[in-house]
Amino acid sequence: MAEDQATRYPLLLVPGMLGFVRLGFYPYWFGIVKALRRGGAQVYPVMVSAMHSTEVRGEQLLAAIDEILRETGAQKVNLIGHSHGALTSRYVAARHPERVASVTSVAGPNHGSELADYLERRFPLGSFGNGVLNVVLGVSVWLLGLLETGYRGPRLPMDIDASHMSLTTRGVEQFNRQYPQGLPQTWGGQGEELVNGVRYYSWSGTLQPGRSNKGSNRFDGSNLTCRLFAHAFAHEREQCDGMVGRYSSHLGTVIGSDYPLDHFDIVNQHFGMVGKGADPVGLFMQHAGRLKASGL
Residue 33 CA to residue 184 CA, distance in Å, equals 30
Phi-psi sector, 38: left (phi>0), alpha (psi -120 to 50), beta: alpha
Smallest Cα–Cα separation from 145: which of 130, 164, 127, 158? 158
CA 122 to chain centre: 25
> Which of 49, 113, 164, 241 is labelled catalytic?
241
CA 161 to chain centre: 19
Residue 164 CA to residue 54 CA, distance in Å, equals 10
| The total number of residues written for the chain in this structure | 296
- Give the residue ranges of the chain where pLDDT is below 70: 1-2
Pick the CATH number of 11-293 from 3.30.70.3270, 2.60.40.1080, 3.40.50.1820, 3.40.50.720: 3.40.50.1820
> Which of 49, 53, 83, 102 is labelled catalytic?
83
> Which of 82, 164, 250, 263 is labelled catalytic?
263
82 is catalytic: no
83 is catalytic: yes
- pLDDT attached to residue 1: 43
Residue 194 CA to residue 181 CA, distance in Å, equals 9
- pLDDT attached to residue 2: 64
Residue 264 CA to residue 83 CA, distance in Å, equals 10
pTM score, whole prediction? 0.96
Reported as a single tens digit per residue, the pLDDT across 131-156 is 999 999 999 999 999 999 999 888 99
250 is catalytic: no
Reported as a single tens digit per residue, the pLDDT across 237-269 is 999 999 999 999 999 999 999 999 999 999 999
Whether the upstream peptide bond of residue 111 has omega within 30° of 0, thus cis, is no
